[in-house]
Each structure stands twice: as structure tokens, then as C-alpha cells.
């Protein structure tokens, strides 16, 4: 059966609105719908790369939009071809149907769906565990100041045969590498000691399995399953909040495992003490091991990640472009990676060079969201408020510790959070020399290492200024 062109036109219009002109031209325009049969629409695209890209990035959206136009459409198949041949071969097609693994708007599901399957030793616990992303290894994790502690703790847990910190609780904002570190621990343990049963699960999946067991009146084997694992990792435990019975079960499973000397690794977007909806007992139990925080990334770390990523993609990216991205996309490593991938893919497909102009043009949508330039005035104002000093003291000559320290903090934050040079920062702080600024930056770095409550202050200010 032929495809209804009017439906496709309406789908295309929506895609253009949602993804923008540039993405539309690169990805949607070349698509040729060929046939529609038994609720399945077949799309032809010119290259394998496009097939994979469209499948993961646009497939689910195309499917959803098309079903909206015509409810009989349930599946989309993308194949390589000119659109003239009618039959797809199994080696070249990719099917998008309504199943969770390919709901490609969720980057995590997408990453998992795309990950190559590792073969070799049979994996104990595999039937309980969610799949691991092959790219999320320790080697692929770029270490910098903001994550070195969490990294070291994760490494320790992965490398020691005995239980080291129990539980290891990793927390930090979205896209800072919690899931990456957990997968890395799992890979490492599976490689070092294949006999140990490692189970990695999202908190949602854990709850889902539990609720299903309840419904099937099979909670005994559910518990047995979990209680026989050596290493249990549960990602995003903030999602356990609230659900009473599940929390209770989680608590018991947790205690049983800890008592038997099994290793637990948990992650959340907040520290245990800030997980408001979790009961007190569970909360204090969560905090009873080692709690390691992934801090917001610094400019240096973002540059490092871009370097590593560019190398993986086998592309040269001009330093200017990397600096531009590291400045502009500061909150979330996933978005940073996404931006780079988009640039590289565009250049590979359409040709040309990666330049500052192409970056600005292709990433308009992303950049607009992040383009709230933080000024040094803003930093000075917030820091002055925080330490209860006058804003004029940011540029005054007073040297008393009570004003000098906050001033140094503001200089440090100006260096970390803006793209200003040392001399520019010096000028904004009452015409000080760039060596004074450099000294301030070092001083604050030393102090944050030595004094954890001071480090917390700086952290808090950073988060506030970045939000």
C-alpha cells in the first residue's frame, strides 16, 4: 500500500517545528516513505549512518506523530535505500515500534539500546540486572576536581574483593556521571570476579519488580533473588520516595544484604539527608556508609570531556569550538556530549569543517537555553550578600580577613564561572593585578580542600549562581 503523502507532510511540518530548520534539513528532508503495510510504515534513507541516527533520534517521534495522524500506524521501519526498491532486507533495517527500549526521547534508554552487547562469560544476575552501557567504563570517565572523590570511591568499591564502604552512596545533579560510574563499577567487578553476582537496576525497575511480585503473590522469590546477589546497585533512589510498601521492602532487603556483608551502591540526585520523602530509618541507613558527591563540572573538566569524546569520535575539533561549547553548555555533561555529537554528525554527513560559525548555527536551540551570561557584578553581589559584606568592599583596598576572603571567593568564582581573563577579573575588583587574582584562585582551591564547611559555602554559591 502506498503511503499517504498528506499525512507525511503533516508529520514533517511538526518535525520541523520541533527540531528546527537545520536538523530538519539534515535528517528529515532526505527521508522517503516507501510503503505502508499492516500498520508498518517503511522509510528509506541514503546511508547506514543516517538510518541509525534517525532511528535513535527521530524514530520514536516520527512514529508517535504519525500514529497521531493515522492511528493504524504502529511501527516505523528505517532502511537504507533510494526509495525505489520495495523490500527491506533484515540486515539493513531498523524497526521502531512501541516498546520501551527504543523510546528514543529518553537518552538513557537510547544509550542502552545502542550499546553493543558484550559477550564472553555468562553473567550471574543478568536476569535481574538491567543492561549495562558498554561505553560507561572507568577508562571512559574523565576525572577532574569535581568528581575525583566519587571516582576514587567507585574505583575502590570495584577493585576490592571485600566490602569497603557500605553502602556507597553517590549523589549529584542530572548528567554529572552517576549512572556512568555505577555501570563502570559493574563492568569492573564482572571482569575481575565473574563469579560475583552483580545486579544493577534503576529504582523504578526495582519497584516495578516488587509490585509485580506482590501482585503475583510471589514476594518470597523476589526477596530470595535480591538476597542472593553479591553487589546490588540501585540507581536514582529518589524515585523510591513515597511508596510505603516498597520503601519498607527496600529497607529490609537493604538490611539483609548489609548484614550478610554484601556490597550496595546507590545513587540519587540529592544527599540522603535531603531525600525528604524517605522515612527516617531508611534515610539514616542510606547515609551510614560512604556518601560521595559529584559536584557541578568546572570549565577544565568540560574541556577534558570534550577532548576525550572528540577522540572517541575520531574527529579533530578546533580548540576554539571546544572552549565555546565548554563555556556555553555548563550544566549537564549529557548535553555537552550531545552538542559535540551533533556537530560531528553534521560535518560527516553534509561535509565542511567544524567552525565556530557552524557550531553557533547548528546548536542554536541548545545555546539559547544556556545563554544567560553570568556577569562579574552578579557574582560580586551574591557573594557579598552571602558573607554579609558591602558590595563596595569587592573593589576596596581593605585587607581585613572578613572582607578579603569573600573577595577572593568572588574572584575565584569569576574565574570558574565566566570566560573573563585574569587581568579582566583584576580590573573588575578595584584594579587589582592579575597575580592577585591568581593567588586568590589558588588560595580558595586550597581552602576548599582543607575546610569542608568552607567548601560547602563555595559549592552553594556556585550552584546558586549557575541556576
Residues of this chain that interact with ligand ADP (CB under 6 A) are 136, 140-142, 147, 172, 174-180, 305, 333-334, 337
**Which residue number, 11 or 333, has a Cβ lying nearer to ligand ADP?**
333
Measure CA of the first residue to CA of the last residue in the chain; give whole Å.
Answer: 52
Tell the smallest beta-carbon distance from residue 269 to Mg ion (Å). 8
Tell the smallest beta-carbon distance from residue 119 to ligand ADP (Å). 22
**Which residue number, 267 or 448, has a Cβ lying nearer to Mg ion?**
267
Tell the smallest beta-carbon distance from residue 122 to ligand ADP (Å). 26
Q: Which long-range contacts (CB under 8 A, 24 or more apart) does 393-397 make?
A: 394/429, 394/430, 395/428, 395/429, 395/430, 395/431, 396/430, 397/430
Tell the smallest beta-carbon distance from residue 12 to ligand ADP (Å). 30
Distance CA(107)–CA(57), nearest Å, equals 9
Partner from Mg ion, ligand ADP, none binding residue 175, C-beta < 5-8 Å depending on class:
ligand ADP
Residue ranges in 67-106 that form contacts with Mg ion under rule CB under 5 A: none
What's phi and psi for 425, nearest 5 deg?
A: -65, -45
Closest-CB residue for ligand ADP? 177
Residue 202 touches Mg ion, criterion: CB under 5 A: no
Q: Contacting Mg ion (CB under 5 A), which of 55, 104, 129, 179?
A: 179
**Which residue number, 23 or 184, has a Cβ lying nearer to ligand ADP?**
184
**Which residue number, 3 or 233, has a Cβ lying nearer to ligand ADP?**
233
**Which residue number, 146 or 406, has a Cβ lying nearer to ligand ADP?**
146
CA distance to 268, 386, 429, 433, per residue, from 391 (Å): 37, 11, 11, 19
Count of residues interacting with Mg ion (CB under 5 A)? 2
**Which residue number, 178 or 346, has a Cβ lying nearer to Mg ion?**
178
CA distance to 40, 165, 292, 300, per residue, from 259 (Å): 52, 13, 22, 42
Distance CA(404)–CA(245), nearest Å, equals 53
Distance CA(246)–CA(243), nearest Å, equals 6
**Which residue number, 178 or 295, has a Cβ lying nearer to Mg ion?**
178
| CA nearest neighbour of 428 among 371, 372, 383, 387 | 383
Partner from ligand ADP, Mg ion, none binding residue 141, C-beta < 5-8 Å depending on class:
ligand ADP
Tell the smallest beta-carbon distance from residue 465 to ligand ADP (Å). 21
Given the C-alpha cell 541548545, which residue does it identify? 366
Tell the smallest beta-carbon distance from residue 149 to ligand ADP (Å). 13
CB 164 within 8 A of CB 199: no
**Which residue number, 113 or 142, has a Cβ lying nearer to ligand ADP?**
142
| CA nearest neighbour of 31 among 14, 12, 4, 57 | 12
Residue ranges in 342-401 that form contacts with Mg ion under rule CB under 5 A: none
CA distance to 5, 24, 393, per residue, from 94 (Å): 22, 20, 63
Bond into 167 cis (ω within 30): yes
Partner from ligand ADP, Mg ion, none binding residue 177, C-beta < 5-8 Å depending on class:
ligand ADP
Tell the smallest beta-carbon distance from residue 203 to ligand ADP (Å). 12
| CA nearest neighbour of 57 among 15, 10, 120 | 15
Given the C-alpha cell 493515522, which residue does it identify? 70
Tell the smallest beta-carbon distance from residue 267 to Mg ion (Å). 7
Partner from Mg ion, ligand ADP, none binding residue 335, C-beta < 5-8 Å depending on class:
none
By the criterion CB under 5 A, which residues form the site for Mg ion? 178-179
Amino acid at each position: 500500500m502506498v503511503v499517504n503523502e498528506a499525512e507525511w507532510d503533516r508529520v514533517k511540518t511538526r518535525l520541523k517545528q520541533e527540531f528546527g530548520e537545520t536538523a530538519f534539513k539534515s535528517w528529515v528532508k532526505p527521508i522517503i516513505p516507501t510503503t505502508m503495510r499492516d500498520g508498518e510504515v517503511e522509510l528509506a534513507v541514503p546511508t547506514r549512518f543516517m538510518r541509525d541516527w534517525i532511528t535513535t533520534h527521530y524514530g520514536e517521534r516520527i512514529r508517535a506523530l504519525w500514529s497521531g495522524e493515522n492511528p493504524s500506524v504502529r511501527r516505523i521501519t528505517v532502511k537504507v535505500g533510494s526509495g525505489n526498491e520495495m523490500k527491506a532486507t533484515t540486515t539493513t533495517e531498523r524497526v521502531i515500534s512501541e516498546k520501551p527500549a527504543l523510546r528514543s526521547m529518553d537518552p538513557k534508554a537510547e544509550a542502552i539500546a545502542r550499546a553493543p552487547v558484550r559477550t564472553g562469560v555468562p553473567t550471574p544476575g543478568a536476569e535481574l540486572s538491567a543492561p549495562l552501557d558498554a561505553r560507561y567504563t572507568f577508562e571512559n570517565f574523565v576525572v577532574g576536581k569535581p568528581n575525583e572523590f566519587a571516582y576514587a570511591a567507585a574505583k575502590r568499591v570495584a577493585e576490592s574483593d571485600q566490602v569497603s564502604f557500605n553502602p556507597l552512596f553517590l549523589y549529584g545533579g542530572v548528567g554529572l556521571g552517576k549512572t556512568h560510574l555505577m555501570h563502570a563499577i559493574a563492568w569492573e567487578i564482572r571482569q575481575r570476579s565473574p563469579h560475583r553476582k552483580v545486579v544493577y537496576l534503576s529504582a523504578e525497575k526495582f519497584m516495578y519488580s516488587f509490585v509485580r511480585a506482590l501482585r503475583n503473590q510471589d514476594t518470597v522469590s523476589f526477596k530470595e533473588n535480591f538476597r542472593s546477589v553479591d553487589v546490588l546497585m540501585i540507581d536514582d533512589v529518589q524515585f523510591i520516595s513515597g511508596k510505603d510498601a516498597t520503601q519498607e521492602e527496600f529497607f529490609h532487603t537493604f538490611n539483609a544484604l548489609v548484614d550478610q556483608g554484601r556490597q550496595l551502591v546507590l545513587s540519587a540526585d540529592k544527599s540522603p539527608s535531603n531525600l525528604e520523602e524517605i522515612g527516617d530509618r531508611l534515610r539514616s541507613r542510606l547515609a551510614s556508609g560512604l556518601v560521595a558527591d559529584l559536584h557541578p563540572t568546572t570549565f577544565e573538566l568540560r574541556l577534558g570531556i570534550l577532548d576525550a569524546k572528540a577522540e572517541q569520535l575520531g574527529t579533530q575539533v578546533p580548540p576554539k569550538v571546544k572552549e565555546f561549547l565548554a563555556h556555553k553548555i555548563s550544566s549537564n555533561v549529557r548535553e555537552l556530549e550531545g552538542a559535540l555529537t551533533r556537530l560531528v554528525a553534521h560535518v560527516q554527513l553534509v561535509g565542511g569543517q567544524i567552525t565556530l560559525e557552524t557550531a553557533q548555527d547548528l546548536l542554536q536551540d541548545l545555546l539559547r537555553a544556556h545563554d544567560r551570561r553570568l556577569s562579574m557584578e552578579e557574582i560580586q553581589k551574591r557573594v557579598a550578600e552571602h558573607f554579609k559584606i558591602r558590595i563596595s568592599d569587592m573593589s576596596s583596598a581593605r585587607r581585613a580577613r572578613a572582607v578579603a576572603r569573600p573577595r577572593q571567593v568572588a574572584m575565584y568564582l569569576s574565574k570558574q564561572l565566566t570566560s573573563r581573563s585574569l587581568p579582566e577579573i583584576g580590573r573588575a575588583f578595584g584594579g587589582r593585578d592579575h597575580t592577585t587574582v591568581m593567588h586568590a584562585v589558588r588560595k580558595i582551591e586550597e581552602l576548599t580542600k582543607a575546610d569542608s564547611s568552607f567548601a560547602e559555602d563555595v559549592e552553594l554559591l556556585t550552584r546558586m549562581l549557575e541556576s
